[in-house]
Amino acid sequence: MISSTASAQIFKGVFPALVTPFVGGEVDEDAFVKLVERQIAAGVHGLVPVGTTGETATLSHDEHRRVVASCVKITAGRVPVIAGAGSNSTAEAIELVAHAKAAGAQAALVVTPYYNRPSQEGLYHHYRAINEAVDLPVLIYNVPSRTSVDIANETLARLAVLPNIVGVKDATGDLARASLQRLTCGPDWVMLSGDDPTALGYMAHGGHGCVSVTANVAPAACAALFDACAAGDWSAALALQDKLVRLHKALFLDASPAPTKFALAHLGLCAPDVRLPITPCAEAVKAEIIAAMTQAGATA
């Protein structure tokens, strides 16, 4: 079992929220291998399969489990794997976290329960139940824009004392929250941004890295930005931010991950296929995505 102190060291850096490539309506396992290998070669610090960007909402449970197991197998311990494992059913979330552990993932990323909008007490007991059921590090994914529920710093502080609840992926874009959370949850609490455009600011507030959509397309530059922050070279980090910020925004000009899959297809890395209700990237935004890729130096 990874201790909380070790978690603060292991779960640092850029963790691409991997797309799940499709071809002919099925998961393209060959393309997935290539995507994972490209990420590791580019110097990312870990991988996140079957998160929101991996279209987990439209994967079957069997597909979800196969993608996690495949990511762990391909990675072969070279970088940590944080497996997406969230649900708005506590029992189902526990099953997915248990599978992540059985597959060999180093941690699970568990989104706050969506649609049913639990209270802060309900959120606490949801994550406490997962903590007690599975001996695997868990990062809480807080993304109110998608789930319609926001987990408060005070609730995170209650959860931070539990042995398996080790940190957060924060996609709120609220930078003041990061500083307050760091003070509330303590030095071993892992703080990863879930918002590429504000990740530089998040790390300046004491964050440890980013679960990144942009890293799918420009992994080396995203990894270099974190490395610059970790080294205290904020001038270099700002220069990289200036290269990447247009791409950060362009990848959300249409429903995610359609723009990201278009960008990867433009690089010849996978098909642009998505699953309904997501539709293929709109023609009107493709030129901006390509221009942003050029500015970021994104190549295959």
Q: What is the mean pLDDT of residues 54-73?
A: 98
Q: How far is CA 213 from the centre of its chain?
A: 7
User: Given this model, what pLDDT does residue 204 score?
Assistant: 96
Handedness of CA 89, 69, 83, 104 (dihedral sign): positive
When mean pLDDT is compared across 8-22, 59-73, 189-203, the lowest value belongs to 8-22
CATH (residue range 4-243)? 3.20.20.70
Three-class SS of 257-290: CHHHHHHHHHCCCCCCCCCCCCCCCCHHHHHHHH
C-alpha span between 27 and 58 (Å, rounded): 11
Q: What is the pLDDT of residues 89-132, one digit of tens each?
A: 999 999 999 999 999 999 999 999 999 999 999 999 999 999 99
Closest CA to 222 of 252, 246, 244: 244
Q: What is the pLDDT of residue 6?
A: 63
CB-CB contact of 194 with 143 (8 Å): yes
Q: Could you give the angle at the alpha carbon of 101 between the alpha carbons of 95 and 104, nearest 5°? A: 140
- Find all residues with CB under 8 Å of 131, minimum gap 6, and list them: 138, 159, 162, 163, 164, 165
Confidence band, pLDDT 50/70/90 cuts, at residue 300: confident
For the segment 154-170, what is each residue's pLDDT rounded down to a tens digit? 999 999 999 999 999 99
Residues near 6 by Cβ (< 8 Å), separated by ≥ 6?
none
| Contact (CB, 8 A) for 166 and 192 | no
- Please name which of 186, 106, 90, 174 lies closest in space to residue 138, comparing C-alpha atoms: 106
d(CA 35, CA 296): 18
Domain residues of the chain, as ranges? Answer: 4-243
Q: 29 pLDDT exceeds 60?
A: yes
Q: Write out pLDDT tens, residues 265-293.
A: 999 999 999 999 999 999 999 999 999 99
Query: Is 243 an annotated catalytic residue?
Result: no
Sheet with strand 190-193: strands edge to edge: 13-16, 209-212, 190-193, 165-170, 138-142, 107-111, 82-84
Q: How confident is the model at residue 2 (pLDDT cuts 50, 70, 90)?
A: low
101 annotated active-site: no
Say how far apart CA 105 and CA 111 lie, in whole Å: 17
**DSSP reduced 3-state for 187:** coil
Residue range 49-58, pLDDT digits in tens = 999 999 999 9
The per-residue pLDDT for 159 is 98
> Dmax over Cα atoms in the chain, in whole Å?
49
The active-site residue out of 141, 202, 261, 286 is 141
As a whole number, the mean pLDDT across the chain is 96
| Residue 58, helix vs strand vs coil | helix
- In terms of pLDDT, which residue wins out, 5 or 231? 231
Among 12, 101, 124, 169, the one annotated catalytic: 169
Whether 103 contacts 72, CB under 8 Å: yes
